[in-house]
Amino acid sequence: MDTPRPLYTVPIIAHRLFGQQRYQGFSIEPGFPDDDNPFPRHDRGPGFVVRGTLEADGPPGIDRGVGTWRSWQEIDAMFVADPTVDASDGTTVNDLWASSGIRFELVERIDAQTSSGLARMLPADSRLRDAIIYPLRRPGAINLFLVREIDGSWGYARRSFPVRPDIIPLAVVSDMRTRSTDPTNRWRLSLITLAHELGHVLGLGHVAFNDNVMLGSGTRLSSVDFHLPQIAVCRSRAAFLSGAVAPPARP
Amino acid sequence: MTPDLPKNDGKAQPFRPSGDGIAALLDAPESDEGVIAEAAFYGADGCETLLELVAPSSNLDLERRARGVFLLGRLHCQDLFKLAPALMQEGVLGIQISLAYALVEIDRAQGEKLLLPLIKDEKADTLLREHAIYAVLAGADRNLRALLAEIVGGSPDRRLRLELMGWLTVDAPDPFQGPDGQSPDDEC
C-alpha cells in the first residue's frame, strides 16, 4: 500500500522519569548504582555506589541511577530514524503509524523526578501513579513518560478528549530491558508498545486481531497494522491535537 | 488493511480466549479487565502454570516474571504465599515489589503480617520498603496509618522519611484520590 503523506503532525512532550537524591551527606558503599542485577545468576564482581550530594540540605537532585535507562538519543530514534543508535534497528513509531496519515513529533524533552521507589517501578494503582504523574504533565501536547518498569503492564495511556482540553493526554511506556535478549526484537516490542499506547490516546480500544497494533491479549512482533475504522477514529482526534482544527466549544 | 473478521454466521460467540495460553498474557500491553478475565478463564491450571513461570527456578526474563506475580495477585492465588519466601530470598527488586502489592491484593491481613516486619527492617532495601508501605497504605485504616507514620518517623532512613511522611500524617491528603477530575476508569 502507498504510504500517504502525513495529514496531521501531533506534538509530543517526552519526560524521562528519574528518582531524587535525598541522602544526607556523601558516602561510598559497596554494590552497584542500580538496585538489582538483571542477570542474577551471573556474578558481577565487586562494585561501589556513590550516594548523596555535598549539599545535603538543598533541594533534591536527580538520581539517574534509579529511573529510565533510555537516553535522549534513543528516545529521539523512536520517532526519527537513527540507525547509529545502538538500541535501534532504524525503524520508528512513525513507520508503524505511516498508513494512518498521522505523524508524531517530539517537541520538548524533560528530565522529571519523583520518589526513587516510584521511579524504580510505577505501581499498578492508578490513583497513586496519577498523583505522581499528573502534576508533571504540560498542556498542549501528548505527554509521553519513559519509565523503567510498571507493575503489571508494559505501558498505559489516558485518552485525549477534544471537548476537554483540561484533560492532558498521557502515554507511559516502560523500558522493557529484559523482555528479550535480542536487541532488534526489544526495539520493535518497544515501538509496538509505544504505538499501542498512542493508539489509546487517540481513542482506540483493544482488538482481538493478532496483526493489529491494538491487540489486547499480547504483543507480537507481527502486531503492526491498523484497520481503516481505527484510522478514522485516530484522525478525528489527531486533527485537534495537531492544532489543525480548533476544539469545539464546550456545551 | 481489511480485518480478518471471524465468521459467526450471525450467531453470538461464547467467550473465547486468544488460544495462546496464560503465558502469552504476560506480553499483553496492559493488564486490563479483558486480560484478567482471560487469565481467570484458565482457572487453577493457569495459576499453577504462572507459579512455575515466576518461581526462582524459571528461565523466564525478570520483567515477565514480575508480571506473572502481578497476575497471580489479581487472580487471588493463595499459593503465591507459599512461594513468597523464595521470591523474597532471591532478591530481584522488580519481582519483590510486584510481590508486595500482590500479597496485599490476595489477602490483606496475611499480606500486612508478612510486610510489616519488612517495613520495620532497617537493613531491608529502602526502595522495597517504600513500595511495601504503599502496598499496605492503600485502604489502610487510621490505626495502620498511624503505625506506619510511627515506623517511618522513627526510621534513620532519611530518604524514606522525606518521601513518605507527607502522606502518612493523619491530615495528609489521601494519595489514593485522583488529583484532578479525571476518573481512573478513563485509563486504558
In tens, the pLDDT along A15-44 reads 999 998 865 555 555 565 554 444 554 555
A128 contacts B134? CB cut-off 8 A: yes
Q: Determine the pLDDT at residue A166.
A: 78
| Contact A3/B at CB under 8 A | no
How confident is the model over A57-75, as a mean pLDDT? 87
Letter string b/e over residues B41-60, b meaning 16 or more CB atoms within 10 A of that residue's CB: ebeeebbeebbebbeeeeeb
Query: Where residue A211 falls among pLDDT bands split at 50, 70, 90?
Result: very high
Q: Measure B25 CA to nearest chain A CA, in Å.
A: 6
Query: Where residue B140 falls among pLDDT bands split at 50, 70, 90?
Result: confident
- Whole-prediction pTM: 0.86
Q: Determine the pLDDT at residue A58.
A: 61
Does residue A81 have a pLDDT over 70?
Answer: yes
Q: Determine the pLDDT at residue A249.
A: 73
Tens of pLDDT, residue by residue over A144-195, are: 999 999 999 999 999 888 777 778 999 999 999 998 889 899 999 999 999 9
Distance CA A79, CA A87 (A): 13
Coil, strand or helix at B101:
helix
Q: Determine the pLDDT at residue B183.
A: 54
Determine contact, residues A198/A157, Cβ cutoff 8 Å: yes
Which positions 162-181 of B are in contact with A (Cβ < 8 Å)?
Answer: 162-163, 175-181
Tens of pLDDT, residue by residue over B89-117, are: 999 999 999 999 999 999 999 999 999 99
How confident is the model over A106-132, as a mean pLDDT? 93
Q: Determine the pLDDT at residue A87.
A: 82
Q: Which three cell numbers stand for residue A33?
A: 548504582
Q: Determine the pLDDT at residue B1.
A: 46
A131 contacts B184? CB cut-off 8 A: no
Q: Determine the pLDDT at residue A127.
A: 82
Q: Which residue of A has its CA nearest to B177?
A: A127
Q: How many CB atoms lie within 10 A of CB B139?
A: 10
Does residue B3 have a pLDDT over 50?
Answer: no
Does residue A52 have a pLDDT over 90?
Answer: no
Among A37, A124, A176, beta carbon nearest to B101: A124
A127 contacts B178? CB cut-off 8 A: yes
Q: Determine the pLDDT at residue B106.
A: 98
Q: Beta partners for A215?
A: A207
Distance CA B71, CA B69 (A): 5
Q: Beta partners for A167?
A: none
Determine contact, residues A203/A236, Cβ cutoff 8 Å: yes
| Contact B62/A at CB under 8 A | yes
Which positions 92-131 of A are in contact with B (Cβ < 8 Å)?
Answer: 99, 115-118, 120-121, 123-128, 130-131
Q: How many CB atoms lie within 10 A of CB A102?
A: 25
Q: Measure B70 CA to nearest chain A CA, in Å.
A: 5
Q: Which residue of B has its CA nearest to A156?
A: B188
Angstrom CA distances, A68 to A95, A112, A113, stand at 24, 11, 11
Distance CA A182, CA A219 (A): 15
Does residue A210 have a pLDDT over 60?
Answer: yes
| Contact B65/A at CB under 8 A | no
Q: Determine the pLDDT at residue B2.
A: 43
Q: Measure A90 CA to nearest chain B CA, in Å.
A: 23
Which residue's C-alpha cell is 536487541?
A183
Q: Which of A151, A206, A224 to mutate to test the interface with B (most CBs of B within 10 A)?
A: A151
Q: Determine the pLDDT at residue A45.
A: 54
Higher pLDDT, B13 or A109: A109
Q: Determine the pLDDT at residue B165.
A: 84
Determine contact, residues A24/A68, Cβ cutoff 8 Å: no
